Chain A
């Protein structure tokens, strides 16, 4: 408190604000937050939000951290309190954000800060679709969007009952809430991956010291790595090459002498881990962008080696056999039978079975498997200043221990890790705006423009690399009053990602018709992959866009990612006339493994009669295409049977509820447009159970781009007055979710 008063006095005009807050919150003084005001003037501000216990222990370090941020030109509040729930924090931040002269631009949550667990908002994630009947701590999304996107409206459900999870607070999103993310401020967590309080305090203390030192470093972004693990994006090298090209234009300086950018890939060696960890420990490494599968405790890098010659092939088979035999033993199966089965199916003699239970071999296999992935215990002395972990689950900060937390809290110089609290979509645009970091932009500004419900920074969001115009860029990005002219100038003069950033700002204010035309010009004319991609994403936000043109242009684009994204949207639309376009692309671009995978997935979503007709027209009898033709025909026959069964189920008033619910939930991931009429009927049918109708309406909310969109909206409008309030609420929500479809990237 003393500190607060002193600083408040020093801060001159800020004194009044500080007092104001104090007064507001001093109603229940014991329970109120303490807000220490910034000591410097700045066009926007930052807040350090911390729990009282931690604050008491690391007060000096927090003060030093505050000073270091302020020395960088960003006025900083400290807000500490014995936080009882997330709403308390959100309320403070909202108020600081609304301060007219210097609104809040970001916040960091240090220590024991309640974790909002968001439910019924899975469409705000990139792909998370876990059935919410599963345990709540697993089927909810830990998300600080609760704190940094003030437009989202939530309803409190409960605090977790488990003594170990008391910091988890469950919320659901309200039907009338905006149904897309547009963060008002950025945020980050400084939450050590430990169980006990003392370790947490110590780690926070040393992290803050490190963050203060990092602020004083003159460290431009001039060394980076980009890595790709096994099993991502169908292991498509074309996807990878697209990313390499996009990095070439987004980070042109990085490719010149005196800089370094390395592309690591699981194909570089049997154990990418060795190379990757060596890089992450490299003193000079600034940014590591890592893509690959992940869990809360692992970054998955390699599978068994991809080989074709006999001996290495047999080594893979042998490893497989040994693991299967050990599993069989553990589960008490008859080992002779298991062995005979494998010998018959794989054509093996006894050789590979002999050492399955030899301790040395067990140990050897265990080491081999361990080396395929990065384990938590490997993450020590990470010097890459910023790590971007484009993976599932590594940022599961609702847990006591989670992998991403070990990056900033290892003994190295890492300041922040970007990571996800739940599973993420493989095809999301992970490198969006990444290039702005080379201009000295604060990490939080990147997050603010690119986050899904699950995307978080673990570490210091105010960290930035040193660059000539860092103050300028941080000012314009942090200040909500930055003018259109400024963004237009940036669009004209900036490099790829600065242009891309400018587009996102101009979108907010430019008249739709004119900006649509400008975006189309950019999509066809910009030499930069990332600018064209941004143009595509912005164009698809408009309701009245010429979709056919947009899709045509995207499919012709030379950046594989744009083609890939277009195939997602084609699947979302499901219109008959797109089938021809889609199938002809499918036939002519077979090398694009990931796009082909997506199309294989999507083809059944369309009117199968049209698909059959077009398949015959394009492929029947065409030389060299017989394999493709057979594959497609087989798929269509299978899907036809499956869907007719599904449709019959929807229309069957006596269908088993469990099966019905399962089929309806299928539609959340599979966009079977042809099923929509049957589902609409079902949703409208008040003889059906509430759960079935609500599930049906929820499933329909995923059809926001569908050719049946208007039919869905029409029904939902009617149902908002349904006697069943749960149905009415879901109908209202579905309307909002559908209307905001374009505002969600996926």
Chain B
């Protein structure tokens, strides 16, 4: 398959790189030959810059290659040459990962859907060598896409060995791609020659995220207050913005992104491959603006309706909403159609908007779904680095992402000359990617040795010393490193100390996430304590964890949190969801117990929650009926598929009984897969037992046994 493979290694010639050379960390530029042939001077210049920064740079260029070949090359360089990162330029195969949705933040699309959509485009294939994959096929139409599945015996968590980034132009045409990349590399080279200290930060929050909870937004405000403490001092600038600040926020945001002084922009909101969604219809309470919103809805509904059904639709809308003819009159008026369409366009940033803007924010983090869908020929995130402005890189996701993830983990490290790849390395899910130069960093002193240490220093002493640094993200990174290079007991002891005593909310959160991996004996107590933390985000993920585990010991704390935190809409939203994963009776008892001593002003709230819990839901019925003879295969399959997203621990016995009773049937495969999502469940031993039983069962199909093995591996690793 490999037609030609070059590994080019050019020694640095400049005398002032001697010191840097002693660092000997390596970086790989992976580029396909058609691009490389046209871009040699630009690649050489880029390489020279990296070398000047003390990196040993390898250029890997292939005429045509499979992902495994690239992966093997990188792995060799990692083993032998201290490779710290790589960039993929041009037409580098895109690994499309399957059977690994548990490595994403939330992606759960059924894999029987279209493969391009139900697989996860991910360069973790290239940068995490512990993951083990099996090649499935190359896409029949899109030759860059290679499908792989994650093997049962693989590691089942992401621990990137190197960082990576993509320089992949948003076009299918080779010619255009070369031209885009040439433009980008020239811009990159020019920008990287400048000294640019991080001094200007923008954080934007769009509509519809995290239940639009103001207190979730305050988690960002509070975390940044310490993560970017220096930005608050003059002449540095830090600016927050959200969809509520103006009815049409788009021009304000675009103008802010065009600011030449802007270094880093964190943009959070919903997204699709070609749009960032900023606003919805304006929030209103007074009559006229309310009617404007209703009228927009009405017109939209009418336009969506087939002509023959319009009269009926109008009648229904008028009945439901209590309207006369007024708002229907302009539904098909061309002027009104254009106006509405312009209004809709004002609510998003589109690819066209990015084409016509000059985005000067050097680094943009798109904490949104799908904008980094680099498996497609065109995708929004690419238009940041390939656009007209000074942008060097965007960070974006190739698929949908969890709203409650912590995109700003370690982000303050940007201030200290940390290569953006080195932040990605510690924060990425399967879907998180850098588009642009992953070795880019904002200027600081000692960047070279700092990045070397991040990549290669495994001395616990070094990282312990860094704990005395008073920056929360340096402490957080040090704690990460201590976890990697100390004994488990040492790590647990240090991390617990910081979890309980740190003044920084982000350090406590980092500790929580590390302890989640280390699982000390008192892990459940730690979760309970986290649910009482002042940092809304930590409370929020603590509740998540309670839901994932399902230990009855969490019932009282969730109820306590619910009644103490009703103003934190997102936490309450999560608490209401997760409390349903516990048996009803103890939950009802807990509600009485918790509220008995509390002076809750609106007693109705107590009754409302009890009612919510008491009610036999659609889900309850599905599981209670699962093993009844009248339940159809389709109904059972649906009930089981729900388990992938909802951790109904209390119904695991029903699922297990179902699987045991149907071990020779096809539908148990999906059922067994759904149990792989219970990797933290308090009942996971029962699942492991079941999986062992299946693997030993004579009447189980090979596919079922495979699924049981896979589930078992996931559960035993986590």
Contacts and interface: CB of A to CB of B under 8 A. Distances in A.
Interface of A: 235-238, 240-241, 244-245, 248-249, 252-257, 259-265, 267-269, 271-275, 277-278, 281-283, 303-311, 313-314, 316-318, 320-321, 343-344, 346-352, 378, 381, 383, 523-527, 529, 553, 556-559, 588, 590-593, 624-625
Given A255-B503, A310-B294, A591-B252, A351 B322 contact: yes
B441 to A, nearest CB: 23
A556 B237 contact: yes
Contacts of A307: 283-285, 290
Nearest to B533: A257
Given A255-B534, A268-B567, A553-B234, A310 B215 contact: no
B244 A237 contact: yes
B636 to A, nearest CB: 35
A322 to B, nearest CB: 12
B295 A275 contact: no
Contact of B567 (A262, A277, A526): A262
Contacts of A558: 231-234, 236-239
Contact of A241 (B213, B240, B285, B322): B240
> Among the interface residues A254, A343, A348, A559, which one has the most CB atoms of the partner chain B within 10 A?
A348
Which 5 pairs show the lowest CB-CB distances between chains A and B?
A: A351-B322, A347-B326, A281-B599, A277-B601, A591-B245
14 contacts: A236-B245, A256-B503, A268-B215, A274-B605, A277-B602, A283-B599, A307-B285, A308-B283, A309-B281, A316-B286, A350-B322, A591-B241, A592-B245, A624-B251
Given A255-B222, A255-B503, A313-B291, A282 B285 contact: no
B246 A557 contact: no
Given A351-B319, A352-B322, A591-B242, 4 more contacts: A238-B245, A240-B214, A255-B222, A593-B246
A244 B242 CA distance: 15
A287 B238 CA distance: 30
B323 A268 contact: no
A265 B221 contact: no
B701 interface: no
B39 interface: no
A244 B221 contact: yes
Contacts of B282: 308
B498 to A, nearest CB: 11
A242 B280 CA distance: 25
A303 B280 contact: no
A273 B602 CA distance: 9
A281 B599 CA distance: 6
B290 A317 contact: yes
B222 A593 contact: no
B566 to A, nearest CB: 5
B254 interface: yes
B503 A308 contact: no
B439 to A, nearest CB: 30
Given A248-B225, A308-B283, A317-B290, A263 B218 contact: yes
Given A257-B529, A305-B285, A343-B324, A248 B215 contact: no
Nearest to B203: A241
Contacts of A310: 293-294, 297-298, 320-321
Interface residues of B, number: 80
B287 A320 contact: yes
B508 interface: yes
A349 B215 contact: no
B534 A254 contact: yes
Contacts of B142: none
A347 B295 contact: yes
A115 B288 CA distance: 46
Contacts of A269: 566-567, 569
Nearest to B597: A283
A346 to B, nearest CB: 5
Contact of A556 (B234, B252, B320, B567): B234
A348 B286 CA distance: 15
Given A245-B221, A314-B322, A308 B241 contact: no
B255 interface: yes
B505 interface: yes
Contact of A268 (B283, B535, B569): B569
Contacts of B601: 273-274, 277-278, 281, 378
B450 interface: no
A482 to B, nearest CB: 30
Contacts of B229: 527
Contacts of B232: 245, 527, 529, 558-559
A263 B215 contact: yes
A257 to B, nearest CB: 6
A527 B232 CA distance: 7
B600 interface: yes
B487 interface: no
A282 B560 CA distance: 13
Contacts of B213: 268
Given A260-B534, A275-B567, A278-B601, A349 B322 contact: yes
Contacts of A265: 214-215, 567
Contacts of B236: 558
Nearest to B567: A268
Contacts of B532: 257
A590 B290 contact: no
B225 A316 contact: no
B518 interface: no
A256 B535 CA distance: 9
Nearest to A313: B290
Nearest to B232: A558
Contact of A237 (B214, B225, B293, B324): B214
B462 interface: no
B477 to A, nearest CB: 21
B249 interface: yes
B218 A257 contact: no
B268 to A, nearest CB: 14
B566 A257 contact: no
B214 A267 contact: yes
B599 A278 contact: yes
Interface in B278-322: 280-288, 290-291, 293-295, 297-298, 318-322
Given A238-B245, A306-B285, A255 B293 contact: no
Nearest to B204: A591
Contacts of A349: 318, 322-324
A105 B503 CA distance: 36
A318 B237 CA distance: 45
Interface string B206-227: 0000001111011001100110
A659 B319 CA distance: 52
Nearest to A588: B255
B568 interface: yes
A352 B294 CA distance: 15
Nearest to A235: B244
Given A244-B218, A268-B215, A268-B569, A590 B287 contact: no
A39 to B, nearest CB: 38
B327 interface: yes
B246 A591 contact: yes
B602 A278 contact: yes
A259 B500 CA distance: 12
B591 to A, nearest CB: 15
B173 interface: no
Contacts of B286: 304, 316, 320
A257 B322 contact: no
Contacts of A624: 251, 254-255
A244 B568 CA distance: 14
B501 interface: yes
Nearest to B502: A256
B235 interface: yes
Contacts of B283: 306-308
B284 A264 contact: no
A616 to B, nearest CB: 19
> Among the interface residues B231, B236, B285, B566, which one has the most CB atoms of the partner chain A within 10 A?
B285
A245 B598 CA distance: 30
